[in-house]
Each structure stands twice: as structure tokens, then as C-alpha cells.
Chain A
Amino acid sequence: MAKAPKNKTPRSPAENLDFALHSLQEELEKTKRYDASEEQLKHFYEQMLLIRRFEERAGQLYGLGLIGGFCHLYIGQEAVAVGLQSALTEKLDSVITGYRDHGHMLAYGIDPKVIMAELTGREAGISKGKGGSMHMFSTEHKFYGGHGIVGAQVALGGGLALAHQYNDDGGLCLAYFGDGAANQGQVYETFNMASLWKLPIVFVVENNQYAMGTAVGRSSAETEFYRRGTAFRIPGMKVNGMDVLEVRQAAEIAFKHVREGRGPVLMECETYRYRGHSMSDPAKYRTREEVQDVKEHKDPIEGLKKILIEQGNSEEDLKAIDKDIRKVVSEAADFAENSPEPDPSELYTDVLVEEY
């Protein structure tokens, strides 16, 4: 016979009368942009610029044949990872994403050298050269990948959140996915359980407008992705993903909600990728004018640059930052180019942890 559990079961979301699907959005509308200190602004700028320069160089190395296979660049989307991850608690919160993962790793302060060396498939790469662009991890930074199956990271992220809740460590999981992955069934299976169990997780849809070559309007019946949690009673937020300060502000609101034990949040960050889906994508599904328009009017780095200049920084100051970052990226590229390939004996290592 089934017996009622002795411990108190968590209250179902439906019983929570205070629940409001729009409450977080309303909170964001009140104050849209994060009030960053001068130091923080500069840091955001540096991080976004590092991602951009790194990705440009990765594209170049790909063109030279130094990077193989698939390589998905994050150019244009920098404000999303930087804005969100700057609000995390280091060494506590966990992050998981899909295959477009270089930017998230850089935003987490992982050494550009070991990332670039992974792209070139070298021994010094963060996955010893065995993962490649799409499969990078840093358990030290609680960065759990780097997953090549579209949407898989959402359910895995649910598991990371379950571990935070189980261990009662106060941490949360930030699970990124794209507008393409948002149509995978397992995303909704995870929404259901995350809301039912009040898991500490922030689901972030990086809506870059195209699932590979398919525009959102051609693939999604509901293109307002932040609404897609409604059926699971998950509050949604729609955020300008081209503005690092708005993303950061949204992160503050969402993380607070989750840390209070009130269950998951679904945040849609509207963004844009300047490059093709992967390096081998000719991007014929959109016009050059469309891309140019976003670059000219919405670029996240240019946007922040304007603020920095308004605050009294000179063009020269910012140029100096760029120069320093180019140097870091060049060093990473040189390192990645000159590191040896993995030893052949690595072929058989790391298949299993134990010996049998």
C-alpha cells in the first residue's frame, strides 16, 4: 500500500496564490538598467571585447585550417553571457550551455589560452584536445559544458539545480539555450519538473533570431519565448540582450527570486549573431543589410563604449584596452598553434574512470 511521505512535500505552484507570471518583468520595467560602478563598466567592456576579439581570431584560425569540425562563434551575443555571469556567485553557482560555448567560458574568467588550445585540438586544451569547440568544461569554475546535442543542456541543468537543492548550498544553475533548442521536447519536460520541485534554475533563451538557417517566425508558433513557461507557471522576462546593463539588471532580479526558493525563471534575451550559425554557414537566409543594421545600431560593445566615453573616458583609453586584449588573444592563438597535439596514448584514457 502506498503511504503518505512523512516529510512535508513542497507546495505545488498552483496553490501559491501570490504567484504572478509577470511580476519579474514588472520589476525590470521599474529600473531597466543596472547601476554599475565605473570599474564594473570597464570590466564588462573588457570582457565583451575579449570575447569578440577571441572569436574573431578563432574564425581566422578556422579559415587557416587550424580549427576543424564545427565552430560556432558568439560574436554579437557578448552582452548576454557577460551580463548574466557577472551576477553569479563564484565557486557556488553552476553554468551549463550548448555548443556555442566559447563566450560563456571567457565570461567566466577561464584562461583564453586553454580554450583556444582546445579549439586547435592540442594537449594543453581544457579538454586535452578531446572535446573540441562544442565540448569544453571546467569543473573548477563549475562550468558544466559545452553540450553538442541541442537542448540536452536544459535537462542536465535541471539536474545541476537539483544537486544545489539537494545539498542545500544556496547555489543556482544558469542554463542557456537558443531559440532553436527552445523547440525541443525535453526543454518542456524540464520546465515541468523544475517548477514542480521549485528547482533553483534560471533558464536563459538566447534568442539570436535564427535556428541555424531558420528564422524564429518560421519555426516557432510562439516567438515570444519568455511566455513559454506560462503553462508550467514559470515567470518570464524579456530582456534586451544587446545591452549588458539591462541583462545584468534582469539577472539581479531573476537570481534573487530563485535564491529565495521560489522556483525557476525563464529569461529571454533578444540578441543577434553576426556570423553564420557555424563557420561553414554562408548565411544566405538573411540580408547583409539586416546584419549591418544591427551592427550599426545595436552593437553591445559600441553601446557600452558610448557610455564609457560619456563618463569621461577618452578614445585613447579604450583603444589601449583593445590593444591589451588583442595581445591576450594573440598570445592565446600562439599558444594554441604551438602546443603539441595530444600524445597517442591519450586515445584510450578517460573512457572510464575506474579499472575493471
Chain B
Amino acid sequence: MAIELKMPALSPTMEEGTLAKWLKQEGDTIEIGDIIAEIETDKATMEFEAVDEGTLGKILVAEGTENVAVGTVIAMLAGEGEDASDMANAAPADPVPGEGKDVGRPDASGEGSEAEIAKPAKKSGVKDPEIPHGTNMQTITVREALRDGMAEEMRRDERVFVMGEEVAQYQGAYKVTQGLLDEFGPKRVIDTPITEYGFAGIGTGAAMGGLRPIVEFMTFNFAMQAIDHIINSAAKTNYMSGGQMRCPVVFRGPNAAASRVGAQHSQNYGPWYASVPGLIVIAPYDAYDAKGLMKAAIRCEDPVVFLENELVYGRSFELPELDDHVLPIGKARIMREGSDVTIVAYSIAVGLALEAAKELAGEGIEAEVIDLRTLRPLDKETVLESLKKTNRLVIAEEGWPTCSIASEIVAICMEEGFDHLDAPVTRVCDEDVPLPYAANLEKLALIDTPRIVKAAKKVCYRD
């Protein structure tokens, strides 16, 4: 059977080219790999190589022809036992210019518009498990709550292990992994060299291989060297594999500003990771959420970025003494109910928002404080429900304002809560500068309670 030789596409964007030169003539024997012709595009000259053997029949596009559309039949090739001269005149139908790129593709027009595609169902109405009446409450630091969460899951599941810098013998740079080496041994509590890109890749690969790694970054600032694996390897592989590949890894460590450590050690990466489909991003505030969400993160089948805060590690909170305290991912928590204004916060800013609410109450303004807890997927429902009630909203975020979680909440309120707004949604963030070292400048750059109070009063038209 004669084979049609078509104008090849030599790059993803090529639509047409010039047939510069025929290197074989009609009647020539063609072997696989022979260069038949040279084709020019605006970028390069490429060789057109034979992928079938036979005899070159009719040349249908003369050399020197410009603007030959990809897919146009340029010559015929006679196979074994065929007579090339027989088909010399059997030219195919006229090529349709510009048709080439779509040869054989189903008609894509009119399908796939957003309205027709069902988005995945979102779990709705999920609440934190009830704490049985009479449950003992313990006072515990966030640091201990995180450690206990990890230890409980390591007892429960042999596949769970911790790796990172100084996590084992040193007991953790911030002592979050204290005692884990003693209980679980060096196989499951692994000290790594200072090599973030490498060990983030190894942790991700181990998750792909069926384990459940907890990868500690001494701080998330250093995870910048590893962000390729977090995003390109961990977040995207399930999708790219059509759902075959699993990557149940937890990347955890302190995030955002600590104290007087300068710009390179003081950044909130919440908005960065929260912008990536395929990741779960959790940023708890108190010990209750730190433990309950840590356990949920470790059990989660998806890759999780778990953002802690160094300044909160040592704070103590009440925690119910339960055998298995696991909280739902993707659900915000109402920390304080109020009717006049909503303050949305996460991580360390939740503490500031609660302080602000207390102050505002003294002035007769009842603020509702929402802790997002999970930054991706974001619990829009809880935010919008609160807005419906208070009609005013302020976001408090310890991080830069531009392209922030605060910006995202503003967008959500505009798109889905506009009718409920009585005042512009207002962001209270850090100043838009690298964090300075000098004590006075650092204080000026960071979000604080008075700024949240001021913004809340402003949206209540009480300033």
C-alpha cells in the first residue's frame, strides 16, 4: 500500500514551513533513516527522515515551496512490491491548508466549557468530633502536641518515619522531635545531612515507594531549596499519572517570622504553597489543632505542607485527653463568636485576632474570629457564612500583603459575598518589605493587635 508522506510538524508550535530541498528524487529507493528532504521554519532547518522503506513515488510539493501547511501530503512512497510509476499520478485530494495539526483528532470545538464539567464534590458540614462530656483536659505546649501527634501515628503505622536535620540525636533543632529517637530508633528517626533538595526528594520518593515520611525542614525558609520536589514531584505526580501514583508525605517545620533573625529566616510561605493544586496546606495555631491536624496530615493520602510557627511552639493550651484526637482537614474553626465584624486569621495571627477581639469588646464591638487552620483547600463556606452574619470582614495575616491568603479571601468575598458586604474587606498584613533586623524596624514591619483593632473599627465605621 502506498504511504503518504506528509509535511511534518517539527516543533509544538509549527503550523507551516518551507520545503527547502528534496534530497531524494522520484524513483529513488528509500531506506529507513534516509534524509528525504530539508524543511525550513522561521527558527531552523530540519531534516525529514524516512520512517518507512520503499520507493519514492510522485513528489507533490516542489522544492522551494513556501508556507506548506503541516499535514499536507508532499510525496508518495511505494512499499515493497509496488510499482512507484503506477502511483505517480495518483495524487491525493488537495490538502487543506492549516489542517495539519488536527489530523485525526476528535473535534474539540464546543466541548469542555466550564459550565458543563462537574467539579468534584466538596465535603460539606463536616465538624470537629464531639469531645465527650467529662473528658479530662491537659495543658500542653504546641511543641509537645506536635510531637505527641507524630509519636501516636508512628505507634499506629510502621510506615511512618521522620527525617530531617537534627531530628534524631540532637532531639530537634526546636525540640519538636524530642524523645522520638529513644522510642523509635534510628531506622524511623533519621538525621539527614544539610541537604534540603536532596532529602526532600528522597522523602518524596519514599512516599511514592509506599512509606509515609514526615520530612522536617529546620525552617521553611530552607525549603526554598527543596520547593521543586514539593511542587513538581509531590503535588503534581498523582495528576500526571492519571491517579496511579501516591505521595503521602508530610513536609513540616516552622514557617514565617521568628524573632530578630532577619529577612532570609523570616518569611511566610503559606500563600506560596496554597496556590498549588495537588497540595494540602495546613497552618494550625493552638495545641488542639496542632495535634489533631498533625495526625490527620500523617494519615492523609495526599502530600501535605504543614506550617508551624516557632513563636507559638512554647505556648500552652488546653487539650482534651482523647485516645485518638484527629481533626478534619479543610475546615476552619470559629474561635470566638461575634456579630459585628469577622476577623479571619491563621497561625500566629489567630492569637493577635483574639486579643483584638477582646479589646474591641471593650468598645462594644463583638468580633467573630475564624481560624482557617487549612489554607488549601480553603474553607470558603465558613468565611462566607460568617460574613453573611456580620457583613464586615478583616483578614489578619502575618505575611506580606501582595498575593497573600488575605488577597484570596478578599477575592472570595467579592465574588461570592458581595451582596452581604457593608464595608470594603480589609487586609491587615506585614509591611511589604523584607523583614529588617533592628528591633524597632522589625516591630514596625510586623502585624500587631492595634492594627487589627484599627481595621476592625474602620470597617464598622467606628474610627
Task: Point out residues on A near B: beta carbons under 8 Å.
Answer: 1-7, 9, 56-57, 59-60, 62-66, 68-70, 94, 96, 125-131, 135-139, 144-149, 152, 154-164, 166-167, 185-186, 189-190, 192-193, 196, 274, 279-280, 282, 284, 288, 295, 337-338, 340-341, 344-345, 347-356
Contact = CB atoms under 8 A, between A and B. Distances in A.
Contacts of B8: 60, 62-64
Contacts of A7: 185-187
Contacts of B301: 353-354
B204 A159 contact: yes
Contact of A9 (B104, B186, B197): B186
B243 A350 contact: yes
Contacts, number: 254
Given A66-B104, A131-B241, A353-B301, A159 B51 contact: no
Given A3-B182, A131-B241, A149 B106 contact: no
Contact of B170 (A2, A59, A149): A2
A59 to B, nearest CB: 6
Nearest to B329: A356
Contacts of B264: none
B10 A163 contact: no
B302 A5 contact: no
- The bracket for how many chain B residues form the interface is 35 or more
B45 interface: yes
B270 to A, nearest CB: 17
A152 B226 CA distance: 11
B187 to A, nearest CB: 7
Interface in B362-409: 374, 377
A5 B169 contact: yes
Contact of A354 (B14, B181, B202, B300): B300
Nearest to B13: A280
Central interface residue in A59, A186, A352, by most chain B CB within 10 Å: A352
B134 interface: no
B120 A355 contact: yes
A190 B198 contact: yes
B245 A63 contact: no
Nearest to A63: B8
Contacts of A156: 201-202, 204-205, 208, 229, 233
B121 interface: yes
Contacts of A63: 6-10, 48, 70
Interface in B192-217: 192-193, 195, 197-211, 213
B374 to A, nearest CB: 8
Given A59-B51, A356-B329, A186 B240 contact: no
A131 B269 CA distance: 28
B103 A65 contact: yes
A347 B117 contact: yes
A166 B161 CA distance: 10
Given A66-B103, A138-B244, A280-B10, A166 B211 contact: yes
A190 B213 CA distance: 17
Nearest to A189: B198
Interface string B84-123: 0000000000000000111111101001100011111111
Given A356-B122, A356-B280, A126 B242 contact: yes
B44 interface: yes
A83 B205 CA distance: 25
Nearest to B228: A149
Interface in B49-86: 49, 51, 70-71
Interface in B105-154: 105-106, 108, 111-112, 116-123
B227 to A, nearest CB: 11
Contact of A158 (B201, B241, B245): B201
Central interface residue in B46, B170, B244, B246, by most chain A CB within 10 Å: B244
Contact of B201 (A68, A129, A137, A154): A154
Contact of A64 (B11, B32, B71, B209): B71
Given A60-B51, A149-B233, A193-B195, 6 more contacts: A63-B9, A159-B203, A159-B207, A189-B198, A282-B45, A354-B302
A94 B205 CA distance: 11
A107 B30 CA distance: 29
Given A344-B112, A351-B238, A355-B121, A337 B182 contact: no
Central interface residue in B7, B198, B328, by most chain A CB within 10 Å: B198
B330 interface: yes
Contact of A196 (B12, B193, B206, B213): B193
Interface in B160-176: 161, 168-171
Contacts of A158: 198, 201-202, 205
Nearest to A147: B233
A192 B202 CA distance: 12
Central interface residue in B46, B106, B228, B277, by most chain A CB within 10 Å: B46
B108 A341 contact: yes
Contacts of B112: 344, 347
A7 to B, nearest CB: 5
A80 B1 CA distance: 35
Given A2-B169, A130-B240, A135-B241, A64 B280 contact: no
Interface string B223-237: 000001100110001
A190 B203 CA distance: 11
7 contacts: A60-B8, A63-B48, A145-B245, A156-B201, A159-B207, A166-B211, A196-B193
Given A145-B237, A348-B117, A350-B239, A295 B70 contact: no
Nearest to B238: A350
A65 B233 contact: no
A127 B233 contact: no
